[in-house]
Structure 1
Amino acid sequence: MLNLKNISFSYAREKIFNDINVQIDTTLITAVAGRNGTGKTTLTRLIMGLMKPDAGTIELNGKIISDMPSYILAKDIGYVFQNPDHQLFASSVHSEAAYAPLALGMDIKLAEENVQQALIDTELADKQECMPQLLSLGDKQRLSIASALAAVPKLLILDEPTSGQDCRERTVLLRLMRKLNKKGIGIILITHDMDILAEHADRVLVLSNKCIAFEGTPRELFTDEERTAALGLELPEAVRISHEMKLELCLTPAELYNKIAVRREENGKNN
C-alpha cells in the first residue's frame, strides 16, 4: 500500500496540492487523470522522491519514503518519463537496461539475469546491440520500462506512456502493462486518454482544485456524465455510445459490441 498523508506542495509560492490524503493499492493499475496543470506529474514525482512535499508524509508498505532520496527509492519504484529521450543515454539497449541494477549495487550475475528477463518482457531481446537513440518511439518507451524493470521494482510509474505512438506500438505497450501487473508489479499510470483509462485501470484518481476530486473505479467515474464533464474529462467512445443508445454503461468496445448484439437478439425475438 502507498499512503499519502496530508501532502501539501507549492511551486514558487503557488499552491499545487493542499492536504492530500489517499491510499493507493500497489497490486492494481491506478490511473491518475485531470486537466492540464492539476499536478498529475508533480504527484508522481513526489512519490518517486524527485521532489519533496512542503508538508505531510508518503509511506510505502508502512515505511516513510518522503524523506528518502530518489536513488534509494529506485530499488522499489521505477519511473518512466513521458519523453523517453529524457532518460536514455547509453550506447546500446543492453547497457541502458543494465545501468540501474548495477548502479544500485546488484550482483553482476543477478543483474544480467534481470536485464535479460526485462528485455524479453519488453520484446527488445533481439535489439540488445542497437543504439537507443535510433529506436522507434514505442521501442524507446519500452526500453525505459526495461531499464526500470531490471532493478526489480515493486511499483512502476508511467507518465503518458502511449503519447505519440501509433496503434500497434500503443497496443504492445498496453499489453506489456497488463502483463507486468499480473506478475505482481503495481502500476501508476498518468493518462489523458480516457479510452485507455476505461479499459485498463482498476482504480482512478482525478486531480482538481489542488486536491483529489474523485477516487473510485472507471465505471463509477463514467456513470455520472455531469461529474465527468465538471472534472474536465471526455467520455470514452464506448461510454458515450452506450449512453446515447440507452444501454447499460459499456467501458470498452468489446462490452459495447456484446450489449448491441444482445439488444438485436432481443428485438429479433420481439418481432
Structure 2
Amino acid sequence: MPETLLTIQKIIYNYSSGKRALDSVDFTVAAGEFVALAGRNGSGKTTLTRLAMALLKPTGGSIHFQGKNTAAMTPADMARSIGYVFQNPDRQIFRETVAQEVSYGPEQLGFSPEAINESVAWALNMTGLTELAGNFPRTLSRGQKQKVAIASAIAMKPQVLILDEPTSGQDPWEAQTLMELLTDLNQQGITIILVTHDMELIAQYAARVVVLEQGHKVFDGIPAGLFDGSQDIGAWGLMPPAVLSLSQQLTGVEANCAADLVELLGSAIKRRREH
C-alpha cells in the first residue's frame, strides 16, 4: 500500500473571534494521490490547507506528516516536503526574473549551486516556462504567473503540492493547460491536493474528493460517488458538472467530462450512420 503522507486527526480551528472554522475533521492523504478538496466559500478548505502547511496552528487535534507531529514545525520546515501555491500568484512573486523567482526556494533550503540550476531547469521545463526564464514575472499573464508559482514550488522537490483555486481567473484553455500540468506532476510521483469549487475539474482530473461543509467533512470518496445522485450535494452548495447532468438526460450515455461526452456522442452518431 502507498505510504500515508499526511494525517489530519480531529482537527479543530477557531478564529480569533471565537467562530469555529473546522470541527473534528479527519482524513489522510497517501503518496501519489490526486485529491480535490471541495466545498462552498467559507467551508474551511483554505484554512485546512494552511494548517497542513503550519501557516496556522490548530485549536485542537493534530496533524502528522510521515508520522511526525507538525505542531512544533514552521512553514519553512513544511516547505521541505510540501509545496504551497496561493490562489493569487502575485502574493508569491517578488524577484526580477522568472528564473530568479524559481530559484528562491532551493536557495533557502540550502541546495548546492549545481542542484539549484538542475532543479530550476527541470521546473521551468515541466511548466513550459523555459523560454520565459529571463522575463519579469509581473508582466506575464495570470496563467503564466500561476505556472511560475507552481515552478517555484516544485523546484524544491516536494512530495506534496497543495494548490488553492489555481484556475481562478483563468480562461478555459489556461485552466486545461494547468490541469494537464498537474496530471503530469502527479504521474511523476508528486501528491496533489487541489482546493477548488470547480466540479468539472474534479470530475475530469481528481481521483478522490473530500467535501467540507461548515467546517465538517461530509464526503470522502471518488468523484463518481459524489455525482451519482446518492448525495444531496445541493445542500452543500455544490452543483454537478454540466456535462454529467446532460449525459444523465441522454439514454445510454454516461460521461464525466466534455471530452468523454464528445467521444460517446461521436461514436453514437457513427453507429447510427452505419445502420
TM over 0.5: yes
Q: Return the alpha-carbon distance in structure 2 between the equivalents of residues 128 and 17 of structure 1.
A: 40
Q: Return the alpha-carbon distance in structure 2 between the equivalents of residues 66 and 176 of structure 1.
A: 32
**Cross-structure match for 1:26:** 31
**Cross-structure match for 1:137:** 142
State whether residues 44 and 157 of structure 1, in contact with CA within 8 Å, keep that contact through their aligned partners in structure 2: yes
Q: Return the alpha-carbon distance in structure 2 between the equivalents of residues 240 and 247 of structure 1.
A: 13
Q: Deviations over 1:228-267 (max 9, x none)?
A: 2122111112211012224454211232234435555677
SS of alignment partner, residue 145 of structure 2: helix
State whether residues 36 and 208 of structure 2, in contact with CA within 8 Å, keep that contact through their aligned partners in structure 1: yes
Q: How do 1:47-86 and structure 2 match up within 5 A? A: 47-86=52-91
**Cross-structure match for 2:245:** 240
Please report how far the alpha carbon of residue 225 of structure 1 lies from its aligned counterpart in structure 2 after TM superposition. Answer: 6.2
Q: Which runs of 5+ in 2 are unaligned?
A: none
Q: Return the alpha-carbon distance in structure 2 between the equivalents of residues 168 and 268 of structure 1.
A: 32
TM-score by length of 2: 0.93
Please report how far the alpha carbon of residue 186 of structure 1 lies from its aligned counterpart in structure 2 after TM superposition. Answer: 0.5
State whether residues 161 and 190 of structure 2, in contact with CA within 8 Å, keep that contact through their aligned partners in structure 1: yes
Q: Which runs of 5+ in 1 are unaligned?
A: none
Please report how far the alpha carbon of residue 226 of structure 1 lies from its aligned counterpart in structure 2 after TM superposition. Answer: 5.3
1:252 to 257, 260, 266: 257
For these two proteins, the number of residue pairs brought into alignment is 270
Q: Return the alpha-carbon distance in structure 1 between the equivalents of residues 254 and 22 of structure 2.
A: 32
State whether residues 197 and 218 of structure 1, in contact with CA within 8 Å, keep that contact through their aligned partners in structure 2: yes
State whether residues 34 and 207 of structure 1, in contact with CA within 8 Å, keep that contact through their aligned partners in structure 2: yes
State whether residues 26 and 187 of structure 1, in contact with CA within 8 Å, keep that contact through their aligned partners in structure 2: no
State whether residues 44 and 214 of structure 2, in contact with CA within 8 Å, keep that contact through their aligned partners in structure 1: no
Q: Return the alpha-carbon distance in structure 2 between the equivalents of residues 267 and 66 of structure 1.
A: 62
SS of alignment partner, residue 91 of structure 1: coil
The alignment status of 1:7 with 2:2, answered yes or no, reads no
Q: Return the alpha-carbon distance in structure 1 between the equivalents of residues 67 and 111 of structure 2.
A: 24
SS of alignment partner, residue 143 of structure 1: helix
2:227 to 215, 218, 222: 222
Q: Return the alpha-carbon distance in structure 2 between the equivalents of residues 128 and 258 of structure 1.
A: 38
Note closer, same or farther for the CA distance 1:36–1:247 as it changes in structure 2 (3 Å cut): farther
AA of the residue aligned to 1:5: Q
Runs of 4+ in 1 over 4 A off after TM superposition: 261-269
The alignment status of 1:193 with 2:214, answered yes or no, reads no
Q: Return the alpha-carbon distance in structure 2 between the equivalents of residues 155 and 102 of structure 1.
A: 19
**Cross-structure match for 1:16:** 21
**Cross-structure match for 2:111:** 106
Q: Return the alpha-carbon distance in structure 2 between the equivalents of residues 106 and 265 of structure 1.
A: 56
Q: Return the alpha-carbon distance in structure 1 between the equivalents of residues 193 and 231 of structure 2.
A: 26
Q: Return the alpha-carbon distance in structure 1 between the equivalents of residues 77 and 112 of structure 2.
A: 17
Q: Return the alpha-carbon distance in structure 1 between the equivalents of residues 105 and 202 of structure 2.
A: 29
Q: Deviations over 1:187-234 (max 9, x none)?
A: 000111111110000100000132110000110000016512122111
TM-score by length of 1: 0.94
Q: Return the alpha-carbon distance in structure 1 between the equivalents of residues 205 and 105 of structure 2.
A: 28
Q: Provide the aligned C-alpha RMSD in A.
A: 1.7
**Cross-structure match for 2:93:** 88
SS of alignment partner, residue 23 of structure 1: strand
Q: Return the alpha-carbon distance in structure 1 between the equivalents of residues 267 and 235 of structure 2.
A: 32
SS of alignment partner, residue 232 of structure 2: helix
Q: Return the alpha-carbon distance in structure 1 between the equivalents of residues 265 and 253 of structure 2.
A: 10
Q: Deviations over 1:157-214 (max 9, x none)?
A: 0111111112222222111101100000000001111111100001000001321100
